[in-house]
A and B are shown apart, each in its own frame.
Chain A
Amino acid sequence: MKIHIKRILLAFIILSLAAIFFFPVAATLARSVWFEKSIRPAAYKELFLNCFIFYPMFWNSVLYSGNITICQLFVIIPCAFGFHYAAFKGKAALYTFYIMLMMMPLQVTVLPNYIGLRDLDLINTRAAIIIPMIFSPFGVVVMHQYMKSIDDSLVEAARLDTGSVIRIIMTAVVPQLKVCIFAVVLFVFAECWNMVEQPLLFLKDNRLKTLTIMISQADKFSPAIIAGASVVFMIPILLLYMFFNENLEEGLTLKEL
């Protein structure tokens, strides 16, 4: 009986914490449909019919995040594979460097990124947003840690079959990494979708900017438009979360430094 009360109390605490944490999300949703003391889709009407800048900006967000996420997979999977199977002097040091880079605040990496982009004459282009993010180290670290748990014998077997590393990765490694790939996709896409600093600093042209910038300039639009845009902006993340959230815990194991 005593244990029962304890459990109910614990459940109550956890649920109320969850409610507090969820409140801002719920309030954002509610605000977009609550209009002049009744539930009306007025905000969405105004957003979709009167706010034409919304469409290119939404498209930019999709373009940047989608491209970064897909291209990143082609970089991080081979890289994590290499880290796992190659043996060379300084591998541990290089991996530690990747962890450091992953831990660096954006404000440290953004200046080198800016200088690199400026030297390549890429400032104020779409590539300025996409290319540096492709080489973000987060995915490499996550995948490398996950790789420790995969079955080596499949890779060994594939090596007898073919000499092509690409083939080995596609047939023997990627299927085993599925869970981790989904988790990384969800995480990386959300991170790109949230970008604020990069479009602010690397882009001058308003045509190239993302929806985050539009929403953060709340004073330039009517509150209804911002409320609607905020919700529309959350939808892709919510959809991705619905599809991939089962993989999050299993796919993201970070413990070794």
Chain B
Amino acid sequence: MKESADKSTPDKATGILKSKLKHKPRRLKWNTKCMLCIGLSLAGTMLFFIIPYIRVLYYAMIDNQFRRNFVWLDNYIETLKNEYFLLALKNSMLLMIICVPVLIVLAIMISLALSFGLRRLKAARTAFILPMLLPTASIVVVWQMVFSEVSNVIPIYILFIWKNIGICIVLMTAAFTSIDREIFEAASLDGTGGFKIHRYITVPLIAPTILFTVLLSIVNSFKIFKESYLYYGENYPPEHSYTLQYYMNNNFLKLDYQALATSAVLTSLLVLVIVLAGITVQRRYSG
């Protein structure tokens, strides 16, 4: 009886002490529980990515699956000399350098127009968003018909922009709509015109989002394989469209684990560098 009375109305000094004692193990437990929540996702990632990836690193350093002699960096040197790998790398880089700026500028302009100037036309965004969601397999026949006379790489570039503009517009529109409206009122009081407001205020304000979409688009330029594969319908497209993923896919079909593992490691290094560069830029400018 006395104990329960003590618990409900403790004197000040012991009360603080008690609550601290009571609180501490519980907080630890809460933190552990929260960490456990990550566990399921992490376990799956471990099982299907991290642990096998270590195997990939190992495959990239042995001569073949049966003899398993260590050759250290020989596979890398061989891959970097392989003319198909170099062709694939060159084509992937070209796609990235040409298409990503076009894509980003186009996306900025469209989402600016749809979120400020022409808000009544907002329904038009559906036309830009649907391509990223709809199955390419369904639509590729139309592309083949439209570009049946064209034998250069332009159709793939257009397909890339068509497919990837949706996510950029979604992310940018979200960022534009979250900008505080007062900024525009202040700017228009100063007599700043429409274009200048966007050039100097709105676009810089969503810089983090733009950086993210740039990164996403660069990385997606490595992912164009699916569209290209469906467009050409075979594993050996014309030379100008032979990108890294074709190289890897063909090695997959040949079950050439060494070439495949080596190019997977090289590609992931490339992505790693790009993402780290993005992180550095973002950390520097967000202070």
A and B associate in one complex: yes
Instruction: Please give the residue numbers on chain A whose beta carbons come within 8 Å of chain B beta carbons, in ascending order.
Output: 7, 10-11, 14-15, 17-19, 21-25, 27-28, 31, 74-76, 78-79, 81-83, 85-88, 94, 96, 99-101, 103-117, 119-120, 131-132, 134-135, 137, 140, 159, 163, 165, 169, 186-187, 190, 193-194, 196-197, 201, 211-212, 215-216, 218-219, 226-227, 230-231, 233-234, 237-238, 240-241, 245, 248-250, 252-257
Q: Smallest distance from the beta carbon of B26 to chain A beta carbons, Å?
A: 8
Q: Does B215 contact A (CB under 8 A)?
A: yes
- CB atoms of A10 and B37 under 8 A apart: no
> From residue A221, how far is it (CB to closest CB) to chain B in Å?
12
- Of B9-17, B97-105, B180-188, B275-283, the one contacting chain A is B275-283
Given A21-B131, A75-B44, A249-B177, check contact A87 B38 (CB 8 Å).
no
User: A14 near B124 (CB under 8 angstroms)?
Assistant: yes
Chain B residues lying within 8 Å of A7, measured Cβ to Cβ, are 117-118
Question: Are B114 and A14 in touch, CB under 8 angstroms?
Answer: yes
For A14, A196, A230, which residue has the most chain B Cβ atoms within 10 angstroms? Answer: A14
| B1 sits at the interface (CB 8 A) | no
With a CB–CB cut-off of 8 A, which chain B residues contact A159? 30
A165→B282 CA distance, assembly (Å): 33
B positions within 8 Å CB-CB of A? 29-31, 33-42, 44-45, 47-53, 55-56, 110, 113-114, 117-118, 121, 124, 126-143, 145-146, 162, 165, 167, 170-171, 173-175, 177-178, 206, 208-209, 211-212, 215-216, 219, 222-223, 225-226, 229-230, 233, 244-245, 248-249, 252, 260-261, 264, 267-268, 271-272, 274-275, 278-279, 282
Q: How far is the CB of B105 from chain A (nearest CB, A)?
A: 13
**A250 CA / B140 CA spacing, docked (Å):** 30
Contact yes or no, B110 A194, CB < 8 A: no
Question: Could you tell me if A82 and B38 are in contact, using CB atoms closer than 8 angstroms?
Answer: yes
Contact A86 B134 (CB under 8 A): no
A151 to B41, CA, bound (A): 24
For B278, what are the chain A residues with a Cβ–Cβ distance below 8 Å?
Answer: 257
Instruction: Check if B35 sits within 8 Å of A10, measured CB to CB.
Output: no
Whether B174 and A252, one on each chain, are in contact in the complex, defined by CB atoms closer than 8 angstroms, is yes
Check B271–A103 contact: CB distance below 8 A.
Answer: yes
Q: A22-B127, A135-B45 are in contact. Are A11 and B118 (CB under 8 A)?
A: yes
Instruction: Identify 12 new A-B residue pairs, CB closer than 8 A, beyond the known A82-B37, A131-B48.
Output: A24-B139, A28-B139, A74-B40, A75-B41, A82-B39, A86-B37, A105-B225, A116-B49, A211-B137, A248-B129, A253-B175, A254-B216
CA distance A11 to B48 in the complex (A): 48
Interfacial chain A residues near B167, Cβ < 8 Å: 252
Asked if A19 and B134 sit within 8 Å, CB to CB, the answer is no
CA of A79 to CA of B39, assembled, Å: 7
Q: Are A132 and B48 in contact (CB under 8 A)?
A: yes
Q: Chain B contacts of A165 at CB under 8 A?
A: 33-34, 36-37
| Interface pair A257/B211, CB less than 8 Å apart | yes
Closest B residue to A217 by CB, please name it.
Answer: B233
**Neighbouring B residues of A212 by C-beta, 8 Å:** 135, 137
Interface of A is mostly: helix
Q: Which residues of A contact B135 (CB under 8 A)?
A: 193-194, 212, 215, 233-234, 237
Q: Identify B142's interface contact among A27, A82, A106, CB under 8 A.
A: A27
Given contacts A112-B48, A241-B133, are A79 and B38 in contact (CB under 8 A)? yes
By a CB distance below 8 angstroms, the chain B residues around A233 are: 135, 137-138
Asked if residues A107 and B49 are in contact (CB atoms below 8 Å), the reply is: no
* 28 CB-based A-B contacts, threshold 8 Å: A7-B118, A14-B118, A18-B124, A24-B143, A27-B146, A75-B44, A79-B38, A79-B40, A85-B34, A96-B275, A99-B275, A103-B215, A104-B268, A106-B223, A107-B248, A112-B52, A114-B52, A116-B49, A134-B44, A194-B136, A196-B230, A212-B135, A241-B129, A249-B170, A249-B177, A253-B175, A254-B212, A255-B211
CA of A159 to CA of B30 in the docked complex: distance in angstroms?
9
